[in-house]
Amino acid sequence: MKILVCITSVPDTTAKISFTQDNTQFNKTGVQFIIGPYDDYALARAVELKEQHGGSLTVLNVGTSDSDPQIRKALAIGADDAIRIDTEPTDSYFVAAQIAEIAQKNSYDLILMGRESIDFNSGVVHGLVGEMLGIPSYSPVMKLEITDGKAEFAREIDGGKEFLEADLPLVLGCQEPIAEWKIPNMRGIMTARSKPLNVVPATPMDDLTVLKKYTLPAPKGECKMIAAEDAEQLIALLRTEAKVL
């Protein structure tokens, strides 16, 4: 089985977010980057599936050389080789198109990624890649088994779970508890160095969207405590101060 796992390189969940150049650039200074947490689940399940079924596991990232440490970590965790499409990722359509371009040439049985990145959180790349390749895509997938070339999986839906079965090839956006995050071991870290990391140029295409500016969420206001029996006062404040009623 040929598996492709697409990973994002995103700011650590505890990073302080700020912007420069008149709020048009994300300020990367001092920010620690990690593999997208949802992508990390996809990678962990892919490593397990490869252990069970054999085959190959390729990890892919659309990004600049700044992503290399995250790609090396994925190799240390268990991917056999890596592809980096050497470009600054812009919007979801652009990223999906770049992934589809590679996937078209390599006919993977399974393309896994996180349900969404944790920086822009669009959560649409898996769907777009599926459409572009003309194969099914599902998200968010929280359980996945492969039996006799078929995928059996569970997906979170409003108020419950949906159990599905589909033929391969397939694109899946993953989330916990599909697998437990894997911590690479020392030997994995050392052998990651000798695994191929192929850097390929991006396919040129027009930008469909233009980023105008970023704004931070409003700072948290002061917390007012209202006694449980004062429901009227609470309603009045919600009307007059918070203006949400």
Q: How far, in Å, CA of 51 to CA of 68, rounded?
A: 25
Check binding of 65 to other proteins (CB under 8 A): no
Given the complex with other proteins, which of 183 and 235 has the nearer CB atom?
Answer: 183
Q: How many CB atoms lie within 10 A of CB 172?
A: 25
Given the complex with other proteins, which of 123 and 184 has the nearer CB atom?
Answer: 184
Rounded to a whole number of angstroms, the minimum distance from the CB of residue 35 to other proteins is 10
From the list 20, 69, 196, 230, which residue makes contact with other proteins (rule: CB under 8 A)? 69
Stretch that binds other proteins, among 45-53, 69-77, 153-161, 221-229 (CB under 8 A): 69-77
Given the complex with other proteins, which of 5 and 192 has the nearer CB atom?
Answer: 192
Given the complex with other proteins, which of 189 and 237 has the nearer CB atom?
Answer: 189
Binding mask 173-192 for other proteins (x = CB under 8 A): --------x-xxxxx-xx-x
Rounded to a whole number of angstroms, the minimum distance from the CB of residue 125 to other proteins is 25
**Residues binding other proteins: number (CB under 8 A):** 15
Strand partners, 10: 34
Rounded to a whole number of angstroms, the minimum distance from the CB of residue 184 to other proteins is 6
Binding mask 220-239 for other proteins (x = CB under 8 A): --------------------
Binding mask 197-216 for other proteins (x = CB under 8 A): --------------------
Q: Which residues bind other proteins (CB under 8 A)?
A: 68-69, 72-73, 76, 181, 183-187, 189-190, 192-193
